[in-house]
Structure 1
Amino acid sequence: MGAERSPDPRRFNPDRFADDETTLYQSVTGDSKKRDTFTFGAVRRLCPGIHITERSFFLGISRLPWGFNVSKVLDNQRQSIPPPIDDLVGGVIAQPRDYPAKFTPMSPGRIKVVRNAVKEFDARLDPETEQWSKVLEGMAFSTWTPEKTEG
């Protein structure tokens, strides 16, 4: 993030994105100075499933606050433990190191919806490979079935 696009990039400020309706695909195919990420490649080496990734991230992340109250863990003195913002792991694709957090279900009804969704999702996976046993109808390659490999 450049200083013009994002002054004070280390400070958590979701308002900086409030008026930006650019999709991830639009970001990666436009001016490289306005890109949010290079994780999905560039030009001819652009990931063809970038739109699926963006939608999946949105659905996954937006469902967390629907189903759970996420809060910081308290230490022995009942003080909240802030996650370390600079403790990253990985290489080309960095992510925060695991840190303690508390996920409290919003309600018994919502946790039931979450558990049913996980069960339904797990039923679609091959137990050996943990990949889709069949690509969902309506998606590209929906007639493709993963091959079993020995080994």
Structure 2
Amino acid sequence: MEITYGHRIMSDDDPYIEIAQGVNQIVADAGNPGMTPVDLLPFLKYLPAWFPGAWFIRVARDAQPMIAKFRNYPYNEVKRQMADGTAKVSFLSMHLEELARQGKQTPEDINAVKVAAFQLFGAGGDTASGPNTCLLNTSKTLGQTFSALLTFILAMLHHPEIQKKAQEEIDKVVGNDRLVDFSDRDALPYINCVLWEAIRWHQAAPLGVPRRAMSDDVYKGMFIPKGSMIVANMRAITLEENVYAEPHKFCPERYLPKPAGNSEPFPTFTFGHGRRICPGRFLAENSLWIAAASILSAFNISRARDSKGKEIVPKLEFVNALISHPKPFQCEIRPRFERTASLVHNAVHDDSLDAEARNILAD
């Protein structure tokens, strides 16, 4: 939200959260791309909403006001802040400044920027909140970034020994007097392995974005006619036994060079292929890395306990949808050190980061 609109979420009743949750619910109701009747038979879009089985018409009709609100509300807020001179650096503000500089402020140009900002946030974000002993509510369709982060937390609950090893690496490199930053990344190879294993172990997007064959083709003797819809089975690729030994096992060491590991490749293909590869992959990977490294540096992730003090072992259950994410589970996330709370608080309220953010966006 801050990268896209320059808006920092400080409370659970923030209007941006309400809008985002509404849009996420719309995505969940719409189902997987290419899997609804209207995707296969486009003429069905002309059916009236009352027609039996035309649920997709009703979903599209009811979604329009919320989609429009998410496009326009942040845009209007950023425009107002720019006029007042209070706007923070963001994807939207920088593009609006560039359009103004080039004199390209047609309705089409403005709408393109609105949609791009909408997609940027929608691909990565969702919300969750709760006290130290929390139920991570993931009932709505989540962005892939957030889904991968929840999978990482779930993996740490099942593998406390991996969490301990990762924290030992951080303590050795960073210590406990500051938070992790990107300058530490090269010195934290195990953290990098933990992140990529969370991405591979349970791929957030089990089926790739549908593609269309632009011409007739033949693959392993199978004829693929022009216009065919092709969906990559990303889940099968991440669990390919010829590439990943014991693929269902969460094992960050698999990526380390031999003899410490098995020199298996990072699953970078999870961000797509070819010219349609995810344009936000570097932002997503960096966001995941800094989030996972910061959590491991500042907090201990442990299992919640029931009323009798017995540990609650969360089940490895996932929602299978366009974006697959863990079903709600309980855990405890507590500061590792006395200084952790103040370090995190100071980082959240540090507005001096805007200059660095501008440089990152400019690059």
Task: State yes or no: 1:99 paired with 2:99.
Answer: no
Superposed CA deviations along residues 34-93 of structure 1, whole A, max 9, x for unmatched, are xxx2xx3321111222112111110110110110011011123332211211x1125232
Alpha-carbon distance in 2 for matches of 1:81, 1:47: 37
Out of 297, 303, 314, the residue aligned to residue 83 of structure 1 is 314
Structure 1 residues 115, 98: closer, same or farther in 2, change over 3 A?
Answer: farther
Alpha-carbon distance in 1 for matches of 2:266, 2:242: 20
State the secondary structure of the residue aligned to 2:340.
Answer: helix
Task: State yes or no: 1:118 paired with 2:348.
Answer: yes
The AA in structure 1 aligned to 2:275 is R
**1:21: how far off?**
8.4
Match of 2:254?
A: 16
Match of 2:298?
A: 67
Alpha-carbon distance in 2 for matches of 1:6, 1:41: 19
Q: Which has the higher helix share?
A: 2
State the secondary structure of the residue aligned to 1:73.
Answer: coil
Alpha-carbon distance in 2 for matches of 1:84, 1:69: 19
Q: Which runs of 4+ in 1 moved over 6 A?
A: none
Preserved contact between residue 73 and residue 102 of structure 1 (Cα < 8 Å): yes
Preserved contact between residue 74 and residue 81 of structure 1 (Cα < 8 Å): yes
The AA in structure 2 aligned to 1:11 is K
The AA in structure 2 aligned to 1:91 is A
State the secondary structure of the residue aligned to 1:103.
Answer: strand
The AA in structure 2 aligned to 1:104 is R
Alpha-carbon distance in 2 for matches of 1:135, 1:107: 27
Preserved contact between residue 303 and residue 331 of structure 2 (Cα < 8 Å): yes
Preserved contact between residue 68 and residue 104 of structure 1 (Cα < 8 Å): yes
Choose 1 or 2 for highest CA Rg.
2
Instruction: Identify the structure with bigger relative contact order (alpha carbons < 8 Å, sequence gap 6+).
Output: 2
Superposed CA deviations along residues 119-149 of structure 1, whole A, max 9, x for unmatched, are 337x97xxxxxxxxx993113458xxxxxxx
Match of 1:48?
A: 279
Structure 1 residues 11, 79: closer, same or farther in 2, change over 3 A?
Answer: farther
Match of 1:31?
A: none
State the secondary structure of the residue aligned to 1:137.
Answer: helix
Structure 1 residues 116, 23: closer, same or farther in 2, change over 3 A?
Answer: farther
Which stretches in structure 1 are left out of the alignment for 5+ residues?
A: 29-36, 125-133, 143-151
Alpha-carbon distance in 1 for matches of 2:303, 2:295: 15
| Identical amino acids, percent of aligned pairs | 24
Preserved contact between residue 135 and residue 141 of structure 1 (Cα < 8 Å): no
Alpha-carbon distance in 2 for matches of 1:49, 1:18: 26
Which stretches in structure 2 are left out of the alignment for 5+ residues?
A: 1-238, 258-262
How many pairs were matched up? 119
Question: Mapping of 1:26-37 within 5 angstroms?
Answer: 27-28=268-269, 37=270
Alpha-carbon distance in 1 for matches of 2:266, 2:250: 21
Match of 1:138?
A: 359
The AA in structure 2 aligned to 1:120 is D
TM-score norm. by structure 1 comes to: 0.64
Alpha-carbon distance in 2 for matches of 1:78, 1:141: 51
